[in-house]
Amino acid sequence: MTSSPTTLRLLAISALAIALAGCNERRGPGFQGWVEADMIFVSPDESGRVTKLDVREGDEVKPGAPLYSVDDDLQLADLNQNNATLANAKQSYDRAASLSKTGSGTQAALDAAVSALRVAEARVNTSQTRLARRNGFAPVGGIIQQIYFREGEMVQAQRPVLSIMPPGNMKLRFFVPETKLPELAIGDEVKVTCDNCSADLTAKIYFIATTAEYTPPVIYSLDERNKLVYLIQARPSRPDSLRVGQPISVFLNARTPVADKR
C-alpha cells in the first residue's frame, strides 16, 4: 500500500513540527536575571579634600594597598597641639614624683599628675590615629569598580571615595515562579548562560526569598509583568568570567548531593 503525496506531506509537516517543538523546549530561555556584586566602599572618617589617588578604575589591588590620600592639615595641627600638652604633662608628673620622693609633695598632687599624663598620652594616640587614617588602604583584595571623588574634590565623612569588588562577592539574581520552588534548595547548582560566556558556567544557590514579588521591570515581558515570582541568589563558580550588570539565563539542574545532605 502506497501513501498519497498529500499524506506524505502531512507526515513531513507533522514531523517537522514535533522536531521544532523539541528544539524550542531544549532551547528555552530559562529564568532571566543579571549579575550583581556586594561592593566594599572605602571612605574617610572625617571630611577633607582628596589630594592623591593611587589607583584607577579597573585596577586590581591586594589587601593593604594604598588607595588615596586626603588633606591632613587639621589632623597634623591637632597632633602637634596634643604633643605639646603631653610634654607639659610629663614635666608636671616628673616634678610631682620628685616632690613625692622627698616628702615635699602630696599624694593627691602626684595622682593628679599621673591622671593628666595618661589623658595627654591618650589624646596623642587619638591624634596619631586620625592622621594615619587620612590615607586609605584596601581592606580586601579585588578590582577597583568605581571612583566617586577625584583629586581636588571635597569628600564628606563616611562618603566612599571608591568601591572595590572582591571576586567572591559576585552574585547572580534571578526569579522563579512559586511552582518551581520545590525544585530548589540552598546549595543547589544551576547552569548559567550569557552572551560570550563559557559553556560550563555554573552557580550555587545561597539565598531563596520567602516573600513573593512582582516580576522586576528590567526583565519582564508584557505577558509576565503581573506574575508573582521569588528572588533567588547564587554564587557563580567562575566570577572572573562575568561582569556586573550583565544579563544572564539560569537553568535548573537536578538536586546536587550537597543539597540532598542538608
Q: Which domains does the chain have, with CATH numbers?
A: 30-38+167-260 (2.40.30.170), 40-71+134-165 (2.40.50.100), 73-132 (1.10.287)
Average pLDDT taken over every residue of the chain:
84
Residue located via cell numbers 528555552: 28
pLDDT of 196 reads 79
pLDDT of 112 reads 93
- Kindly report the CA angle at 154 between 74 and 77, in degrees rounded to 5? 5
pLDDT (tens digit, 9 = 90+) per residue, 47-61?
999 999 999 999 999
What number is the average pLDDT over the span 23-48?
A: 81
% the chain with pLDDT above 90? 59
| CA distances, 174 to each of 50, 139, 171, 192 (Å) | 39, 30, 10, 11
DSSP string, 120-149: HHHHHHHHHHHHHTTEEE-SS-EEEEEE--
Q: How far apart are CA 197 and CA 30, in angstroms?
A: 15
Q: Which residues pair with 74 in a beta bridge?
A: none
pLDDT of 10 reads 44
- Kindly report the CA angle at 42 between 41 and 44, in degrees rounded to 5? 135
On the question of pLDDT at 198 being above 50, the answer is: yes
Between residues 164 and 19, which one has the greater pLDDT?
164
Q: How far apart are CA 3 and CA 12, in angstroms?
A: 12
State the cell numbers at 166.
572582591
pLDDT of 224 reads 55
Q: What is the DSSP letter of 255?
A: P
On the question of pLDDT at 214 being above 90, the answer is: no
State the cell numbers at 70.
586626603
Q: Please, which pLDDT band fits residue 226 given cuts at 50, 70 and 90?
A: low
Q: What is the DSSP letter of 237?
A: S
pLDDT (tens digit, 9 = 90+) per residue, 162-195?
999 998 899 999 999 888 888 899 999 999 988 8
- Kindly report the CA angle at 53 between 38 and 129, in degrees rounded to 5? 80
pLDDT (tens digit, 9 = 90+) per residue, 71-114?
999 999 999 999 999 999 999 999 999 988 888 878 899 999 99
% the chain with pLDDT above 70? 81
Q: How far apart are CA 44 and CA 53, in angstroms?
A: 13
**Kind and range of the H or E run holding 24:** helix 5-26
Between residues 65 and 4, which one has the greater pLDDT?
65
